C-alpha cells in the first residue's frame, strides 16, 4: 500500500478537496491538517537522537499519522496558528514564532516528496528570481525594470516603447475593510506626466508584448497541462484576471523549447507544482511572465477538462 500523504492546507480550500478525493480513489491514505488547528485541535510529538532521525506523530481528535510513514507532503496556503483566548499580543507573537519553528521545522525536516517545500516556494515567489532563472533556462522574457526612480521610468519608456505596470508581489490589498486587486495596466501618455509616487516603494515595469492570446501552463512534476486564455474585453486584454467573465479557454499544444525551458525552471526553483503564465504573440512567439508556486488550477481544469487533480495525486503517490 502506498505511504500516507500529508496534506497541509486550509480546511475550506475546495481545490484541495479534489486532490484528497483523487488520492483516496487511487488507494492512498491521507492525513489532512491545517496549521490553523495548531495547537488547540492538532498536536505534535517528535524526537530525534544519534540513533534515529525525526520520529513521532501528528494527532487530531480523530486521527493520527506517524511521521516516519509519510511518503509525500502537499502544501497549499494553510491558515495562521490559533491560540487559546486570554493570551496577550506579545504572548501570541511568541507562541506563533515557537509554533512556526517547532511544528514548521519538524515538518520541513521530513525528507520526502514535497509539492511544494515552503522554503522553495518562498524563494520562487520573488519575481526578480523567476525572471533571471527563466532567462537562464532559455525562456524569452520581456524587458523589465524595477525601480523607485522616476527618471528611470522615463528612460525605460523611451528605450522600450509601450510599457505596462504590474505589482512586484501579491496584487491583493485590503483597504477600508474591502479586498482589492491591483491589475497589470498599460501606461498611457498622461501617466508619465506625474511620477511623484514612484519614490514611495519599488515598482515593476515591463515592455508591452502584443498578444494573440495568453497561455496558462500548469506544471505537475514533469507534466505540462496547457490552456489558451482568450480575452473578450479591453480590460481582459490588458490583464485577464480583471474580467473572468470575458474569457474563453481551450487546450493547446506547447512548443518543445518552451516545455524544456519550463521543466528546467521548475527544477532550478525546486518546485514540483507551478502555474506559469505566458503571452503568445501573433507570430507564435512565447514570452514568459511568471510562475506561481501556489497558483490556482481548479478553474482551468473545470474550463478545459485537463486532469490536473488526478496528476497531482499521482505525483504525490510517486507515479508519473
- pLDDT digit string, tens, across residues 12-51: 999 999 999 999 999 999 999 999 999 999 999 999 999 9
**Per-residue pLDDT band at 319 (split at 50, 70, 90):** low
- Phi then psi for residue 251, to 5 deg, are -85, 135
Q: What is the pLDDT of residues 69-118, one digit of tens each?
A: 999 999 999 999 999 999 999 999 999 999 999 999 999 999 999 999 99
Give Rg (Cα) of the chain.
22
**Going edge to edge, which strands form the sheet with 52-59?**
43-49, 52-59, 64-66
Report the C-alpha gap between 42 and 63 in whole angstroms.
10
What rounded mean pLDDT belongs to the chain?
94
Residue pointed to by grid coordinates 515552503: 118
Instruction: List, for residues 140-164, the tens digit of each pLDDT value.
Output: 999 999 999 999 999 999 999 999 9
DSSP-based three-state secondary structure for 176: coil
Tell how strand 172-175 and strand 113-115 pair up: unpaired
Give the relative orientation of helices 256-269 and 127-136 as an angle to the nearest 10 degrees. Answer: 130
Contact predicate 227/251, CB 8 Å: yes
Domains of the chain: 5-115 (3.40.50), 143-207 (3.30.1490.20), 210-317 (3.30.470.20)
- Are the beta carbons of 16 and 9 closer than 8 angstroms? yes
CA–CA distance, 220 with 316 (Å, rounded to integer): 10
Amino acid at each position: 500500500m502506498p505511504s500516507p500523504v500529508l496534506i497541509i492546507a486550509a480546511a475550506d480550500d475546495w481545490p484541495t478537496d479534489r486532490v484528497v478525493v483523487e488520492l483516496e480513489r487511487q488507494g492512498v491514505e491521507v492525513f489532512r491538517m491545517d496549521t490553523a488547528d495548531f495547537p488547540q485541535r492538532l498536536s505534535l510529538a517528535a524526537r530525534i537522537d544519534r540513533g534515529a532521525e525525526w520520529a513521532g506523530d501528528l494527532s487530531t481528535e480523530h486521527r493520527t499519522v506517524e511521521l516516519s510513514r509519510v511518503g509525500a507532503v502537499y502544501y497549499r496556503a494553510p491558515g495562521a496558528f490559533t491560540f487559546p483566548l486570554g493570551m496577550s499580543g506579545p504572548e501570541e507573537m511568541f507562541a506563533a514564532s515557537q509554533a512556526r519553528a517547532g511544528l514548521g521545522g519538524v515538518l520541513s525536516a521530513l525528507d520526502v516528496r514535497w509539492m511544494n517545500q515552503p522554503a522553495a516556494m518562498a524563494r520562487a515567489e520573488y519575481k526578480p528570481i523567476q525572471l533571471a532563472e527563466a532567462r537562464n533556462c532559455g525562456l524569452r522574457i520581456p524587458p523589465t525594470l524595477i525601480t523607485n526612480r522616476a527618471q528611470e521610468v522615463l528612460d525605460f519608456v523611451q528605450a522600450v516603447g509601450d510599457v505596462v505596470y504590474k505589482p512586484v508581489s501579491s496584487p491583493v490589498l485590503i483597504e477600508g475593510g474591502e479586498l482589492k486587486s491591483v491589475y497589470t495596466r498599460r501606461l498611457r501618455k498622461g501617466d508619465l506626466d506625474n511620477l511623484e509616487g514612484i519614490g514611495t516603494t519599488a515598482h515593476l515595469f515591463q515592455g508591452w508584448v502584443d498578444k494573440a492570446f495568453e497561455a496558462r501552463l500548469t506544471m505537475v512534476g514533469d507534466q505540462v497541462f496547457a490552456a489558451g486564455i482568450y480575452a473578450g474585453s479591453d480590460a481582459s486584454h490588458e490583464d485577464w484576471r480583471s474580467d473572468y467573465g470575458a474569457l474563453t479557454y481551450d487546450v493547446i499544444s506547447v512548443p518543445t523549447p518552451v516545455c524544456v525551458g519550463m521543466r528546467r525552471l521548475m527544477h532550478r526553483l525546486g518546485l514540483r507544482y507551478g502555474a506559469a503564465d505566458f503571452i503568445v504573440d501573433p507570430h507564435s512567439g512565447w514570452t514568459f511572465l511568471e510562475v506561481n508556486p501556489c497558483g490556482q488550477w481548479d478553474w482551468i481544469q473545470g474550463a478545459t477538462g485537463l486532469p490536473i487533480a488526478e496528476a497531482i495525486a499521482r505525483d504525490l503517490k510517486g507515479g508519473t
